[in-house]
Structure formats: C-alpha cells, structure tokens
A and B are shown apart, each in its own frame.
Chain A
C-alpha cells in the first residue's frame, strides 16, 4: 500500500498525537485546558490548532500546494507569534510530524521502499516548516507595523484632517527657497 494511503488510514491517531505534542508546548495547566475544552469560542487556541493540523495533514498527503498550506498553517502560527515562543518553538512542531509518522509506521518504516517514500514525505514536511517560518516572520512584522502606526492612525490622522497639524511644506519653488532646507 502506498505510504499516503497508510497515513490517511491512521490519520486520526496521527493528528491526535501531533495535536497533543503542539499543545504540550504550553504549561501543564494550559495544555489540559486546551485538550479538554471543545467549544471553539471558549477555546480558540485549541480548536484553531486542531482544525489547522487536520487541514495541513491533508495538504501533506500529496504534492504540497504552498498557497493552501500557508492558508491552513497561518491561523496556528498567527496565534503562536503573539505568545511566549521563540521562532523555533513557534514553528518547530511541524518537524515533529516526521517522528510521529515513523512511530505510527513501526517496523514498516525500515522497509527500503517505505524509506524512499518517507524521504519524499520528509521533504514536504521541511517545505511546510519553511512556509510556517515565513508566516511567523510575516506575523511578527505585522505586529511591529501595527505598533508603529497605531498612534499615528488614531490621533495624527484626525488632527491632520482637521487642519490642526502644520507640516513642513513640500520643497519650495526656486524663487522661495528656504535657507533652512539647504
């Protein structure tokens, strides 16, 4: 049987293991809550993570479509990017899938044919990890951009519209050159 067919059969177990592993990156009290609470509105972190992992798993069952993978991993990384994680910790869970899959395959993982298939699978996981890292960086940039522009957007714009801000005028024409700008 093809590797992907085996994995799809074991999907529930694999995704559950993967989810547990991601959630165990949180302190014990938190991880208990993230696993237990099933209401997506009472537990957005747990439910977003679980939904995301399910979708990514499906993405990995064939040629990786970067757009789709990015769309599915974004919500998970977006959350981790504002939490207490280093970039490696925020994205590293992707790589853990390799070990989970091997554990699930047991002895079968050593079969030469399987190993070839696994290599190809690993390459897709690596690719996904890079996508996760890209998303992480994008989120961090967004946070800094929001931080940098928030006050300007709120106050300055209102004052500017009201004509209460006097800005340095555009470069003067030759005749009216200001010494200060030289």
Chain B
C-alpha cells in the first residue's frame, strides 16, 4: 500500500511538461492537429514533384533520397529570388514582440507556435548552412543541421500557421512570418509534402475552375435554385446571366458561396443586389461557370501554383470581353489580387480601370488589378443613396463583425464592410479593439487548414476570436457574426458551435439581400434562410 503514489504525486508527475529548450524538445505529431497528406493523384495533376502515398504518422515519409539537397537548393534559389525571405532570415533580433500574438500560440499553448519560433525552425537551418557565423558557432548561434526530424517539425508547424500576418503587425522590423511560412510550404512542396485539403482543391480548381470540382451545369443548377428561392421569398425572380460575352462586368466569388451553407445565402444576396441594379439602373453583369472560384489554394502551395490559378480568372475576363471584374466576399482571393496579382499576371491591360456605371465613381485603388471588392462597390452605392434599403428586416439581428485577416491586413479593407453593415442593420457592436481591424484574430482555419481531421487545431486556434465574440454576446446580446470571407463562413459556424453556440454566422451581402427592397416585391415575411422575420410573419387568418 505504501508504494501506491498519492493522487497529488501522480498529478505532479503527469502534469510537468518537458523543461527542455525548443530545439531539444522532440516533435510529437498529434492527431487532431494535422491534416491528411496530399492525394498523389492531385499532386500529379498539376505537375508538382514527388506525388506518392505517405502518412505523417509513419516514420518513413517515402522521401526522395536526395531530399536534403532538394531543400538546400530550394532555399538557395529562394534566398536569391525573394529579398523578403533573405531579409527576414537575417534581421530578427528575437525581441519576442511577436511571440504571444499568434492565435495558435494563444490557443494551443504550444511554444513552437510562437511566430518567432515558427520562423526559427527554418532560420536555424539557414544559419547552419547559409551563414558563416552559424557554420562556426553552431548551436550557440542558434544554428542546427537539417535532419528528418527537423523536416517533420517544419511540416507540422508550417501547417499550423494560417499565414494571417497578425504577428507582423507587432514586429518592430516588419518581419512577416506569413511570408516565411509561404516559402517554407513551397520548400515542402518540392518534396511532395502538401496536405490534401490544399492539394485536391488546387487540382480541382485547375481542372474544373473551382475547389470542389463542380462542373458548369451544377453551378448553373445552383444559381437557378437560388433564383427560385428568391422568387418564393420576395415574389421577384432574378434572371442572372452566365458566361455572357460582351457584358460590362464579370462577377467572381468563391465557390463556397454557391455550394456551401451559409455562403449560399450570401450568394442569394448578390443575386438580389444585381437584379435590383439591373432593373433600376441597367447594370450589365455576368457570372461565369468557368471562373467559378475566387479562392486560390495555389497561394498555400507555391507562388507558381498561385499564379496559374489566378491567371484563369483574368483569362475568363478576357474571353468574355468584360471591362472589369467585381469580386465577392472572399478572403485570400483579395490578398492574392492586392499583393501578388499585379506582379504575377498584371497589369490586366485587356481590362479597363473600373468605373461604377451607376455612380460614375472611378476605383483608383483598383487601377492596376481592375478588380473591385463588393463592399467597396456597395459602399459607393449606399453613399450615393442608390439602394432602396429597409434595415428593419434585420432588426432581430445584433451583429458584430469579424475582420477576415486577408481583407483587413492584406488589403486594408476595414471601413467599407462596417459602413455596409451599419446601413442595413441598426444593431452593430464592435468586439474589443485588440481583436479587430489590423489586430483581428484569425478564424483559426485559414490558409488551407479548414479540413475536418484537424478540428482540435482549428478550435484551439479559433479560441481568441471566439472569446471576443463571447464577450459581445454576453455584453450586448450579439447573435450574429458577420464576415466577408467564404472560409470564415464555412469555419466560423463550427467554431461558434463549440465556443458560443448562441451566435450564428452570415455574410454581409446576405444582410444586404434581406434589407434591399426589390421593385414589385411582395410583403417579405421570411429572410433569405426562409426563416420567419419576427414581427413580419404572415398574418394568417387575420380577418377571423
């Protein structure tokens, strides 16, 4: 009996985490925290190297024999080509200002999710093999040789970064760890080490034009269905056009809006908006079943893959002969457009500088990319009083706004979404200031991490965001979380279900669709989700 440990002894034993420094703490790949390995068929389809079956949980990742050489050659090449990468490798002073700013560190409590350590994973190898200082002083200089364990650590932690850039906001040197992750993932792709949630959408998008591999006829079926639903709800049947040559504007949105709830209601919002503008002002706009994806998972694979997928949007705009592109509520599509498109595929000379045909506003900010964000377009319309809005249909909503990382930090789109929301709903409450705008907390599932198998990673990474939502829910009774990103619309509902189940998720254009009066509409008694509007229910048996 006396040998039996006391409960507190058991606890203190099992509770004490390793005290080793990060370099000596071995990697422990934990189910729930990683995404499945890429399907070789998808890797092969887009011509990326080393398609093969492999499993992160197995010791042997079936790497090519000369894998180290490939990595070093890849690093050398990128240090030459990307000045940012070279500078970011050299200038970090390890001040730690970024350390506690990452939602994955905050939520998982794993120190290797501190941005500075995430970058050190690669930087340590850089020091060892690319700097004289590191070659001489080795570990003392923060250098370590490349080994299989180091490679696995890269893979595990580079796919625990959503490339959200929050850390960069706090770095006095402007080091953008997201850029380091981007290059790191590119290096991993040289060895065929992608995750399937990225690799297969990339292959699908390359083949059929969208992540899900949905073909044009199904795309059309969904749009038709939305229109019928809108007719049922409003009494007005929109008649959008698809693939129409000679239209003035091409509309591109993430496929999630067309195929996945609750994005589908946002898609209905677009249709209502365009129908209104067409009837009232003659808006000349078309959708495309080929550019049926605004998202670009190539961005999470390599610069080259991103470029190829981005190009097809512009190729479709050229084929249809439109003047400019209007873009829907997407996150990383906008980062790609705003930060990379011009260098990769621009300037889009076959298009014109976007001018709103309704207000005459020239969108100088899109002078080169020729692509305008739907909330910019909407803000301009609302500012010029061009919409017939009845915000009372959103009275039952108490809304807060989640700044999606990419529109917020990747393109500075901060005020337009708020302006639109407040024009269509009178109850709006901001989350605390250190969780919104430039400092917004990521949903925890961006950059291709929105798979099912890494749910614990997603729920822990999304905790800081959910925590702020809970605050406004408790303080103001917020019941709706608005966002302008298709990944957000997909991943925030499960995040809310776990942390703040009382709060639902919507796109902004869904709220616009609910508030906008269509000429000739019937009395609106339900919202776009076909749920009764409180106080506006059908007056059944009214005269009895």
Contacts and interface: CB of A to CB of B under 8 A. Distances in A.
B260 A29 contact: no
B471 interface: yes
Interface string A72-93: 0000001100111010110011
Size category of the B interface is 35 or more
Nearest to B460: A82
A155 B259 contact: yes
Interface stretch (A5-13, A37-45, A105-113, A170-178): A37-45
A147 B14 CA distance: 28
A169 interface: no
B452 A25 contact: no
A121 B203 CA distance: 61
Given A78-B499, A83-B108, A146-B455, A155 B260 contact: yes
A154 B490 contact: yes
Contact of A154 (B30, B106, B261, B464): B261
A25 to B, nearest CB: 5
Interface string B140-173: 0000000000000000000000000000000000
Chain B: interface secondary structure? helix
B106 A42 contact: yes
Interface residues of A, number: 50
Interface string B301-327: 000000000000000000000000000
A139 B490 CA distance: 21
A153 B434 CA distance: 32
B218 interface: yes
Interface in B70-108: 99-100, 105-108
B187 interface: no
B463 A86 contact: no
Nearest to B493: A153
Contacts of A98: 7-8
Given A42-B434, A44-B463, A83-B460, A29 B111 contact: yes
B467 A44 contact: yes
A58 to B, nearest CB: 19
Contacts of A159: 259
Contacts of A40: 467, 471
A84 B30 contact: yes
A157 interface: yes
B110 A41 contact: no
Given A26-B17, A143-B455, A162 B30 contact: no
Interface of B: 7-8, 10-11, 14-19, 25, 28, 30, 32, 99-100, 105-111, 114, 212, 218, 221-222, 225, 229, 259-261, 264, 432, 434-435, 452-453, 455-456, 459-460, 463-464, 467-468, 471, 490, 493-494, 497-499
Interface of A: 21, 24-30, 33-34, 37, 39-45, 48, 78-79, 82-84, 86, 88-89, 92-93, 95-96, 98-99, 139, 142-143, 146-147, 150-151, 153-155, 157-159, 161-164
